[in-house]
Amino acid sequence: MRGKQVELESLWEEVREVSLGNSVDRLHSSPTPLQFLRDFVSQNKPCLISNAISHWPALSLWPTPSYLSTSLSSSLVSLHLTPNGQADALAPHPLHPSLCFVSAHVQPTAFPRALDLIRQPPNHLVAYLQQQNDCFRTEYGELESDCDDHIPWASEALGCLPEAVNLWIGNHLSETSFHKDHYENLYAVVSGEKHFLLLPPTDVHRMYIWDYPAARYSYSEESGEFLLELEEPERRVPWCSVDPYPATGSAEQERSKFPLYFNGPKPFEVTVKAGEILYLPSMWFHHVRQSPGDGGCTIAVNYWYDMQFDIKYAYFNFLQSLPYQSTDDQTIPESECEDLGYHPCHNHLSSTFSTDESATNNVEVNKDHEDV
């Protein structure tokens, strides 16, 4: 067993030395389809691309709130509400002994009202337009002429058009916890900045993927209060347990609980600025924070292309099926985990999760459903 542990820990270093390097590659113009396929998709390797969307009218139009409110004045959109900006994330339940996987309250809202709540957040809630499920084409059709309906060089390289195009509008209070997606993701920032932490699929054991009971926020406009309710019948969601930015008072405890993450190779840090595209390969773990632009919010469009379920997918599934615990890993024993209501995931099939697998509003475009 010790030999297997050493080999897995060596793999985390070797994949960086042999393939990934120490930072994400930057391209200063759009790649050719061949270059993109050969150097990045086939190697499952991210890259940051500048000057690829400079022709989009959205770059000059969308940072102006009045333009968006006028263009979408009659649109009803799906607004996600939480008390703290953390949806599709882990949170304690007041009446349950364990952490829960928590989804946002989703409320149909007139777009101008939704934008006001994002730009000028009240004290008791955080609003985020993050519906996914091809929401750009289904809820924001009036904006389609402001940007491309696909990324041409990516579509040619991948041999298909995007399965979903999503619009994201939020503020600095919204944060996306570590997760992975079964899509080739082209993530274009239009206003503000997105701050990504990235880990390759080979680092799956460092994520401490455990099963958590699913819960959902319910929000009352009348009282202005949130209620956290466990789903019935019970449903469990495999999710990353690591918070890379623990609160000051709990930092030491988090580090001792998840040493494979905090003591292992540093995640790749990437800031995507307005006008740039991040290629995020399928199955890469990512955590996201954001900074608003001049209009008071962060705006992005992402394109989800179907991934190839090829030999790489089989290799990654095999890797994450291997039971593993480092000798210096002092995490909670499995017996105690079960007493607390969450369970380590040993079966590789239960670990192949993503944000678009855990929320029921995204079933239509998801390959593995049973949510960013």
Residue 351: pLDDT band by 50, 70, 90 thresholds? very low
pLDDT tens figures, 205-228: 999 999 999 999 999 999 999 999
Q: Residue 229 is part of a domain; what is its CATH number? A: 2.60.120.10
Residue 185 lies in a domain: yes
Q: Model pTM greater than 0.85?
A: yes
How high is the pLDDT of residue 361? 39
Residue 359 lies in a domain: no
How high is the pLDDT of residue 250? 86
pLDDT tens figures, 165-218: 999 999 999 999 999 999 999 999 999 999 999 999 999 999 999 999 999 999
pLDDT tens figures, 273-310: 999 999 999 999 999 999 999 999 999 999 999 999 98
Asked whether the predicted pLDDT for residue 371 surpasses 60, the reply is: no
pLDDT tens figures, 24-42: 999 999 999 999 999 999 9
How high is the pLDDT of residue 343? 59
For the chain, how many structural domains are there in total? 1
How high is the pLDDT of residue 8? 83
Q: Which of 3-12, 21-30, 271-280 has the lowest mean pLDDT?
A: 3-12
pLDDT tens figures, 73-123: 999 999 999 999 999 999 998 887 789 999 999 999 999 999 999 999 999
How high is the pLDDT of residue 304? 98
Range of the domain at 134: 1-321
How high is the pLDDT of residue 372? 42
Q: Return the percentage of the chain with pLDDT > 90, whole number.
A: 78
Residue 247 lies in a domain: yes
Residue 363: pLDDT band by 50, 70, 90 thresholds? very low
How high is the pLDDT of residue 244? 97
Q: Which of 131-135, 281-285, 321-325, 355-359 has the lowest mean pLDDT?
A: 355-359
How high is the pLDDT of residue 94? 84
Residue 173 lies in a domain: yes
Q: Contact, 86 vs 372, CB < 8 A?
A: no
Residue 339: pLDDT band by 50, 70, 90 thresholds? very low
Residue 326: pLDDT band by 50, 70, 90 thresholds? low
pLDDT tens figures, 231-257: 999 999 999 999 999 988 888 999 999
How high is the pLDDT of residue 344? 59
Residue 350 lies in a domain: no
Residue 361 lies in a domain: no
Angle made by CA atoms 358, 362, 363, in degrees to the nearest 5: 85
How high is the pLDDT of residue 365? 39
Residue 47 lies in a domain: yes
Residue 40 lies in a domain: yes
